[in-house]
Structure 1
C-alpha cells in the first residue's frame, strides 16, 4: 500500500486519524479522476476550441462543431458547460 506522506506515515494510521475508511482511499489512489469528470473536461475543451474559431455563435452551434470534432454531447450538456465556463 502506498504511504500518504513523505515521512512514511502508515495508511492505517492516517485513515484512522482522518476517520476515513482505507478501501475508498485505496480506490482513489488507483483512479484519482473520475471518468465523468474527464469526459466533461474533454467536452469543455472541444467547446472552447470551437468557440475560439467562431466566437459569435451560441451553444447549439458550438455543440454541433464539437460533435463534428469527435466529442459527442447533447445540446443541454453544451449549454451547461458553456454557462459554467462563461
Structure 2
C-alpha cells in the first residue's frame, strides 16, 4: 500500500489527489494519514542511523566480539536510554553481527 501512496504523492502535481485516489481505489483520508506520518518515519530512520553508528563504534572497539546484550549494556553505561530489542533490530537491519568461528569454537 505504501507504493500506492508514494505514487499518489509523486503524481499529485499533475492530477488532483481526489482523482488519483478514486482511480487507485483508496480513501483520500488514508492517503492524508500516510502523508501526515511521513515526518515521523523520516525522524525514526535518522535516529536509527545515528544509533547504528554508535553501535558500530562500540562493536569495532570490542574487536567485533560484542553482541546485543553487551552493546546494550555499554550504551546504557554511556547514558543512552535505548531498548534492547531496538538494539537487536538495528544491528540486524544494518548487518552488525559477531562473526562466527569456522570450527564452532570462539
TM-score range with shorter-chain normalisation? 0.5 to 0.7
Q: Deviations over 1:7-56 (max 9, x none)?
A: 2x111110001111010111122222556x81x75245324313224422
Corresponding residue to 2:55 among 50, 53, 57: 50
Cα distance in 1 for partners of 2:48, 2:38 equals 19
Q: TM-score, normalised by structure 1?
A: 0.64
Q: Which residue of structure 2 aligns with residue 78 of structure 1?
A: 87
Instruction: Answer yes or no: is 1:6 the counterpart of 2:13.
Output: yes
| Count of residues in correspondence between the two structures | 80
Checking the alignment, whether the CA contact within 8 Å between 1:47 and 1:66 is kept in structure 2 is: no
CA RMSD of aligned residues (A): 2.9
Gaps of 5+ in 2: 1-8, 96-106
Larger radius of gyration: 2
Q: TM-score, normalised by structure 2?
A: 0.55
Offset at 1:82?
1.4
Q: Which residue of structure 2 aligns with residue 21 of structure 1?
A: 27
